[in-house]
Amino acid sequence: MKININGITFKNPIIAASGTFGFGKEYHQLYDVGILGGISSKGLTINPKEGNAGIRVYETASGVMNSVGLQNPGVEKFIAEELPWMKQTGSVVIANLGGGCLEDYIAGIELLNETEVDMIELNISCPNVKSGGMAFGIKADVAYEAVKAVREKCRKPLMVKLSPNAENIIEMGQACEKAGADSLSLVNTFKGLAIDIKQRKPIFNNLYAGLSGAAIKPIALRMVHEVCKNVRIPVIGLGGIYTTEDVIGFIMAGATAVQIGTANFTNPLICKQIIEELPGFMEEIGIENWEEIRGVIQ
Amino acid sequence: MDYFKSKVLSQTETAKGIYLLRLQVPEQQIKPGQFYMLKSWEDDFLPLMRPISVYRYGNGILEFLYRMVGKGTLLFSRLESGDEVDLLGALGNGFPCTEVKGKIALVGGGIGIPPLYETAKTLRSLGNIVDVYLGYKDDLFLVDEFADTCDDLFIACENGYEGYKGYITDIVNHEKYDAIFTCGPEVMMFNLLKNSTLEPSQLWLSMEKRMACGIGACLTCNCETTHGMKRCCSEGPVFRGSEFTMN
Ligand SMILES: Cc1cc2nc3c(=O)[nH]c(=O)nc-3n(C[C@H](O)[C@H](O)[C@H](O)COP(=O)(O)OP(=O)(O)OC[C@H]3O[C@@H](n4cnc5c(N)ncnc54)[C@H](O)[C@@H]3O)c2cc1C
Ligand SMILES: Cc1cc2nc3c(=O)[nH]c(=O)nc-3n(C[C@H](O)[C@H](O)[C@H](O)COP(=O)(O)O)c2cc1C
Ligand code: FES
């Protein structure tokens, strides 16, 4: 069941996705979150953020749109109040770091360098912060400069989280690899629009919002496949994973591990149930380790 | 709090579009005003569970009263005895029944009425005097049930079908009460708060926001308060009136 990413051992390839799992405490009321391979924290920014006003979540066909706007307590408060608890769970702790500008990322990295955080997941793709967030994740050359600057300061394994809204997902993955990313995670949410036709207004105050859930899975899987074929660093796949079969599919497309987000809302025990099913599944399909199937889809 | 399966004992349409769903559940710890996330469908079809308040609970029977308004509640309305419902709960803070004393008014509007039922029972068992004010648009529901659990019952109906013709907030005499608990449309609750002679901290409002996780992890159920953004699901749904600025 074990996997290794950038020298860090994960008990299993199941990671709770950023923004859907808080810092793990809430779900720990339902099951021991220490059984997870890893937990990716709520997206952090150097300064605390209140997030967006208005409706923040809207259900669509087999999907969910959200516009939380990176509400979070800020990196310092995370380190003081959330990290110690996360560390003692026994799961790999991934600090998901967002930002409005490069200076914010760097300031966040410098604080996180000094902590017990196992890994940084650099969110260059959050579509909700009007000033910036998006821009880094759209154009490969912009992402390259940002990741390179962060890499120079970052002393933790650096995973870069890609936006599916990138102009060209393969070039984006390659640019981040070249800039020094140790691993990649994809995908973040797809930019979408929902309209209240009675009021003739968009549902979300920020107009566009991010789509996640089962609706995006085939596209996410295709993107993971394309990127895996074109980079050498490990890729963590996500987007609409709901079942053990979905997990195996992402691994067959080339992913080293996966993250589960929206499915936690549909079934709060989903990560636990998949982790429990995996050994039997491996036996059923006759494999002893993930390498036997990783990337078998050419 | 737990995530578990329950069995439908019965379901009835008690008023037009209003359903009473009775579920068999393991022993629960429930505070009046708490809610559950419910679903009765395959995992990724409708991704979000639906928040519904506890109407009544006792002897392993958990009852919800809901209005059919969309896809999820349409699927609920088709449930028959023996069917399964997934439950996550009990969730939220509930009404602070032990923090108030004396003469208490409970003011409910429309589908905000059901969570006041257990609240009235609990407040009375704690020795308070409990007056209940129920506001309806047209069809009445739960009137008999409330009549048995409160000291005085007041009804308002917008179409004049029964009781006072107009809004329930028109007939609440705030000066008579030590505290007020309310659940209903936001405009109704804020109206009540704005026109109250009580200290805003002596009114408690049960808020309704769209929710995804229901347990405080996803920050989608944002409730803007004077103490910053709060999570309606875990820091609410009940908030003190003093947490809102009226303008
Ligand atoms: C704490 C709380 C307690 C509630 N208690 C009750 C109750 O006791 N009885 C009752 O009839 N209703 C109650 N509601 C409202 C109920 O949750 C919605 O009517 C229901 O979610 C509608 O789902 P739908 O699929 O039928 O509608 P759709 O419009 O198809 O739902 C689409 C999405 O929007 C959400 N949504 C739609 N309307 C509301 C709303 N008014 N509030 C929150 N989310 C909404 C749904 O949950 C779903 O995610 C409560 C809401 C909250 C937040
Ligand atoms: C409510 C919500 C909040 C999210 N917040 C973040 C965030 O803060 N940082 C981030 O990198 N991704 C965030 N995401 C994106 C998820 O981590 C994930 O990339 C995306 O939802 C696709 O996976 P899924 O279909 O399994 O949910 C959020 C998603 C949702 C639904
Ligand atoms: S619904 Fe997720 S935090 Fe309230």
Written out in words, the top-level CATH class of the domain with range B97-243 is: alpha beta
Question: Which whole number is the average pLDDT over A138-166?
Answer: 95
**pLDDT attached to residue A134:** 55
For chain B, 247 residues long, the average pLDDT of each consecutive 10-residue run is 97 96 97 98 89 96 97 97 97 97 97 97 97 94 94 93 91 95 97 95 97 98 94 97 84
- The answer on pLDDT for A193 being more than 90 is yes
| Contact A56/B at CB under 8 A | yes
The residue assigned the tokens 């068992």 is B125
Chain B residues with beta carbon closer than 8 angstroms to that of A268: 3, 88, 213, 215
How far, in Å, CA of A145 to CA of A155, rounded? 18
How far, in Å, CA of A72 to CA of A98, rounded? 10
- Picking from A59, A60, A204, A262 by the largest number of B CB atoms within 10 A of its own CB, the best residue to mutate is A59
Residues 6+ apart with CB under 8 A from B122: B32, B97
Q: What is the DSSP letter of A33?
A: G
Q: Which two tokens stand for residue B171?
A: 């007939």
**pLDDT attached to residue A54:** 93
The residue assigned the tokens 């009540």 is B192
Residues 6+ apart with CB under 8 A from A266: A242, B39, B43, B44, B47, B48, B49
**pLDDT attached to residue B45:** 86
Identify whether A56 is part of a domain.
no
- The answer on pLDDT for A127 being more than 70 is no
How far, in Å, CA of A75 to CA of A92, rounded? 18
Say how many residues make up chain B.
Answer: 247
How far, in Å, CA of B187 to CA of B180, rounded? 16
Residue type, A240: G
Binned at pLDDT 50, 70 and 90, residue A100 comes out as: confident
Residue ranges covered by each domain of chain B: 2-91, 97-243
- The answer on pLDDT for A132 being more than 70 is no
The number of the ligand nearest the C-alpha atom of B14 reads: 1
| Short-list B76, B97, B77, CA closest to B30 | B97
**pLDDT attached to residue A130:** 43
Model ipTM value: 0.95
Is A126 in the active site? Answer: yes
CATH number where A138 lies? 3.20.20.70
How far, in Å, CA of A298 to CA of A248, rounded? 15
From the CA atom positions of chain A, what is the Rg in Å? 18
**pLDDT attached to residue A128:** 42
| 3-state SS, one letter per residue, for B31-67 | CCCCEEEEECCCCCCCCCCEEEECCEEECCEEEEEEE
| Short-list A185, A102, A191, CA closest to A143 | A102
Identify whether A182 is part of a domain.
yes
Q: What's the mean per-residue pLDDT of chain A?
A: 94
Identify whether A109 is part of a domain.
yes
User: Which of B220, B225, B235 best tests ligand 3's pocket when mutated (most atoms within 8 Å of CB)?
Assistant: B220
| Short-list A126, A176, A124, CA closest to A148 | A176
**How far away, in angstroms, is B218 Cα from ligand 2 center?**
9
How far, in Å, CA of A18 to CA of A15, rounded? 9
How far, in Å, CA of B27 to CA of A166, rounded? 50
Identify whether A55 is part of a domain.
no
- The alpha carbon dihedral of B103, B104, B107, B112 has a sign of negative
Question: Which whole number is the average pLDDT over A51-76?
Answer: 95
pTM over 0.90: yes
Chain B residues with beta carbon closer than 8 angstroms to that of A263: 43-44, 47
Cα→Cα distances A185→A64, A123, A250, Å: 20, 9, 12
Which residues does residue B222 pair with via DSSP β-bridges, in sequence order? B231
In the Cβ-directed half-sphere of B162, how many Cα atoms lie within 13 Å?
11
- The DSSP element (H or E) to which A147 belongs, if any, is helix A140-153
How far, in Å, CA of B158 to CA of B170, rounded? 11
**pLDDT attached to residue A99:** 82
Atom in ligand 2 nearest the alpha carbon of residue B219: 1
| Contact A62/B at CB under 8 A | yes
Q: What is the pLDDT of residues A137-151, one digit of tens each?
A: 898 998 999 999 999
Residues 6+ apart with CB under 8 A from A153: A106, A109, A110, A113
**pLDDT attached to residue B20:** 98
Three-state SS for A9? strand
**pLDDT attached to residue A110:** 97
The number of the ligand nearest the C-alpha atom of B17 reads: 1
| Short-list A26, A1, A158, CA closest to A89 | A26
Three-state SS for A143? helix
- Closest chain A residue by Cα to residue B215: A26
Domain spanning B2-91, CATH architecture? Beta Barrel (2.40)
Three-state SS for A130? coil
Three-state SS for A106? helix
- The answer on pLDDT for A131 being more than 70 is no
| 3-state SS, one letter per residue, for chain B | CEEEEEEEEEEEEEECCEEEEEEECCCCCCCCCCEEEEECCCCCCCCCCEEEECCEEECCEEEEEEECCCHHHHHHHCCCCCCEEEEEEEECCCCCHHHCCCEEEEEEEHHHCCCHHHHHHHHHHCCCEEEEEEEECCCCCCHHHHHCCCCEEEEEECCCCCCEECCHHHHCCHHHCCEEEEECCHHHHHHHHHCCCCCHHHEEEECCCCCCCCCCCCCCCEEEECCEEEECCCCCCEEEHHHCCCC
Print the domain residue range for A276: 3-49+70-189+214-293
Three-state SS for A262? coil
Cβ neighbours, 10 Å, residue B186: 14
Q: What is the pLDDT of residues B65-123, one digit of tens each?
A: 999 999 999 999 999 999 999 999 999 999 999 999 999 999 999 999 999 999 999 99
Identify whether A106 is part of a domain.
yes
Listed in order, strand segments (DSSP E) in chain A are 3-5, 8-10, 14-16, 38-40, 57-60, 63-66, 92-97, 119-123, 158-161, 183-186, 190-193, 195-196, 201-202, 208-212, 235-238, 257-260
